[in-house]
Amino acid sequence: MAVVEVSIVPVGPAGASISKHVAHCLDILEQSGLTYELCPMGTVIEGDLVSILDAIRSMHEGTFGGDVVRVLTTIKVDDRRDKKLTMDGKLAAVRRHRER
């Protein structure tokens, strides 16, 4: 199981706002059925790595069109094979250390 952070930024759209593109990417991600959390600077997704990468590819490709001719996608992958990895589990581990 993996936890992946992705940021997809269209380059060259008219105006400075990219929120409509982010919303479109989330529509695509919703269709994947993966668990995710939208954050101010990216989106965190958990699940099978192959499924996540397939979803990210669809999101990346889905950003093109209209006035978007270039897309910058940044991906961070935490892929753990010895135990189940989740967003909540990662946060809980840090919180346990802070409580000491």
**The CATH number of the domain where 20 resides is what?**
3.30.70.930
The upper half-sphere exposure of residue 63, i.e. CA atoms within 13 Å in the direction of its Cβ, equals 27
User: Tell me, what's the pLDDT at 29?
Assistant: 98
Which letter does DSSP use for residue 68 in this model?
Answer: B
- Which residues are within 8 A (CB) of 72 and not within 5 positions of it... i.e. 6 or more apart? 8, 9, 11
Domain containing residue 23: 2-98
What's the whole-model pTM score?
A: 0.90
Closest to 6 in 3D by CA, of 71, 76, 68: 76
Over residues 62-77, the pLDDT tens digits come to: 999 888 889 999 999 9
User: What pLDDT band is residue 15 in, cutting at 50, 70 and 90?
Assistant: confident
Number of domains, the chain: 1
User: Tell me, what's the pLDDT at 42?
Assistant: 96
